Amino acid sequence: MQDKFKQLRTYLGEVMDLAATAELLGWDQQTYMPPGSNEGRSMQLATLSRLTHEKFTSDELGSALEDLKSIVEELDPNSDDARLIAQVSKEFDKQRKVPNEYVAEFARITALTHQTWEKARQESDFSIFRADLEKIIAMRQEYANFFQPYDHIYDPLLDDFEAGMKTADVKKVFADLRPRQVALVNAIAESSYQVDDSVLHQEFDESTQWAFGEEVIKAFGYDFNRGRQDKSVHPFTSSFGNDDVRITTRVAPNYFNTALFGTLHEAGHGMYEQGIGKQLARTPISHGASFGFHESQSRMWENLVGRGKPFWIAFFPRLQEYFPEALRDVNLDDFYRAINKVERSLIRVEADETTYNLHIMVRFELEIALMTGELSAVNLPEAWNQKYEDYLGITPPDDAQGVLQDIHWSFGGFGYFSTYSLGNLISSMLWEVIQGDLPDLQSQFEKAEFGGLLEWLRANIYVHGAKYEPMELLKMVTGSALDADPYMRYLEAKFGEIYKL
């Protein structure tokens, strides 16, 4: 038995090495690769993606899994070995339905379309990206059809990011959240007390912003010995193994929130990957439980910690030292309210916590319409603008602040967006448990001590990687199924205080 497991782990390690190499090339493409190298890079990614898929869906792996099935039945069902076999077998069966040729072509196309998206966004011209987006939509529809019969064409896409979740499940969550969040946003808008955030819209030196952000995430526990931060058009995190997890951010010289909260968000992803159990290294379960769980961590460190008053009790004096002229005469309470200002805004990644999910609902509904064919790419900018008018009462003035603002469609990430909202819900559910287990948590933050939180997360979430199904892990840790109530309790308490509701 030990020999068979050892052979399997060796084989899977080679699969993961190929996947990590492709991931590294993708990271380089968005950070340091010369723009003229894109055609060659697309072929390299196509080759690596095909080889990875061929190796993972091979008859050799299928035979090895079959040989181990009877042995696994004798193991503790929650052991690492049993869970590894179960999760790999499930993914093997799924990926066998996808042709190698499709995988290679999809990797090639999305490598090319990323650069087209960057150009279109820079020039604020959707027409530059439209033809490439049409190719991606067609390929995602083709992909979904590999998994017929399905309840909804969007289900296979969603399952890639949130295993076991159905389109109907997300619709139900959003139907519950939408009226409650709209009511809160309206109550804030009607409040006689409003927040002035002009302090955030000043000249902030880019290198100084960068230095402050890195100081904060070092304090959080992001390990720069096993990671680094670079600039990109859109912030992202890449893991090439749990000892090499890299993050990126972007910097706005005249708006403070962009760089810092982008850094905190990506550091949340990074610390999750760095905290996965060493025993799972170089296996297909050596990553987060799901994208929803991953977003729960990025949103937790960005918002529940980084936008909280206790955090700023510790770090606002340091920030004033970094920016003495801009912040010398600003008091802590005014700054805290400024970074939490509620505003119907255009840009998702800079949206406040109360309106954020509305941005996600727009994208979720548009993605479904594109996949079902109810909406064509040529009409997407108009549909986007109408959704923003319907949900937030504002209309984007151009494509860069509208339909082109997100990177996800350029890499074919249909099914991804809803996991941000799922992450908001999961983070608040975890937060209530954490505060019960660590009753002095907020006082720790006031002293810039984050080790207690990080150790709790490592012990209860990170160490498991993708050993458990996401909703199974959530139930294990919180004792509850997915629930929007903790999230709404958090929002209503925090913003009720800020806006004197």
**Is the N-terminal amide bond of 396 cis, ω within 30° of 0?**
no
Residue 451: CB partners within 8 Å, gap ≥ 6?
Answer: 221
CA distance 153 to 17: 32
> Given CA atoms 380, 381, 382, 385 in this order, what sign does their dihedral have?
positive
Residue partners of 439: CB distance under 8 A and separation at least 6: none
Give the Cβ contact number of residue 495 at 10 Å.
Answer: 21
Rounded alpha-carbon distances, angstroms, from residue 298 to 108, 205, 270, 289: 29, 25, 8, 14
Active site residue 365: no
3-class secondary-structure state, position 113: helix
- At a CB cut-off of 8 Å and minimum separation 6, what does 286 contact? 16, 241, 242, 276, 280, 465, 466
**How, if at all, do strands 229-231 and 237-239 pair?**
unpaired
Burial of 324 (0-12, 13-18, 19+ CB in 10 A): exposed
Which is catalytic among the residues 266, 273, 343, 365? 266
The residues assigned a catalytic role are 266
